Structure 1
Amino acid sequence: MKFTIDKVIHERVRLLILTYLASHSQKKVPFNEIKENLELTSGNLSVQLKNLEEAGFIKIFKKIKDNKPETTVSLTTAGLRGLNEYIEEMENLIKKVKGPKEN
């Protein structure tokens, strides 16, 4: 059995971001909310979001609201599919390492 772990998703911070977006009740999540809840710096979050956007996993929206820039992020269909495939792959890997269950 060959494992194909997506290296974009496998990076810790990017996995956290995708998981956070996938489990969020809102479709578009504010940049600052992600930053605060995942305890990331603005710079680190920006770099990781750019990587995820380039991979097609997220979409970044920028607009001006009340004369202030506002950035929101949403998970794409490809991002949700990629995350689900990653989770399935990791579950298979764990099962292989654990071996068959003993009764």
Structure 2
Amino acid sequence: MKIFNSVVRVKILALLYGLEYCEFNYLKEKLNLTDGNLEHHLKKLEECGFVETKKSVIKGRVKTIIKITNKGRVAFKNYIYEILQLSKNIEC
């Protein structure tokens, strides 16, 4: 799947996989990305239906909340499974 060709998108999904949701700035800081770069990758993930973003007011401030979808969870889990299966076939 082409969406997994980007290390950044894989990292975004990996972080979100273990969380119910997170704020845009949390992802930005954890992945050391600019606003524009993160927005670009989130847009690609949204287009695939892997994440959802929404604006919420938290403590009087507007925050962008990102959540992995069930489709995103399944796709990420399958991707990791495939990687693990491939690694079993590596001979040194």
Does TM, normalized by the shorter one, top 0.5?
yes
Counterpart CA distance in 2 for 1:57 and 1:72 is 14
**What are the equivalent positions in structure 2 for 1:14-53 lying under 5 Å apart?**
14-24=9-19, 27-53=20-46
Larger Rg: 1
The 1-side partners of 2:5 and 2:91 are apart by 20
Question: What corresponds to 1:58 in structure 2?
Answer: 51
1:74 corresponding residue in structure 2 = 67
One-letter identity of the residue aligned with 1:8: I
Unaligned runs of 5+ in 1: 1-5
CA distance in 2, matches of 1:77, 1:59: 10
Q: Measure the CA separation in 2 of the matches of 1:83 and 1:21.
A: 10
Given residue 92 of structure 1, which amino acid in structure 2 is its aligned partner? Q
RMSD over equivalenced CA pairs, Å: 1.6
CA distance in 1, matches of 2:56, 2:29: 20
Secondary structure of 1:69's match?
A: strand
Matched letter for residue 3 of structure 2: V
For residues 40-63 of structure 1, the C-alpha deviation after alignment (integer angstroms, 9 at most, x for no partner) is 111100000000000010001124
- 2:3 matched residue in structure 1: 8
What is the TM-score of this pair, normalised by structure 1? 0.80
Residues paired across the two proteins, number = 91
Distance 2:8 2:68 in 1: 15
Q: TM-score, normalised by structure 2?
A: 0.89
Query: Structure 2: 5+ residue runs without aligned partners?
Result: none
Amino acid at match of 2:12: I
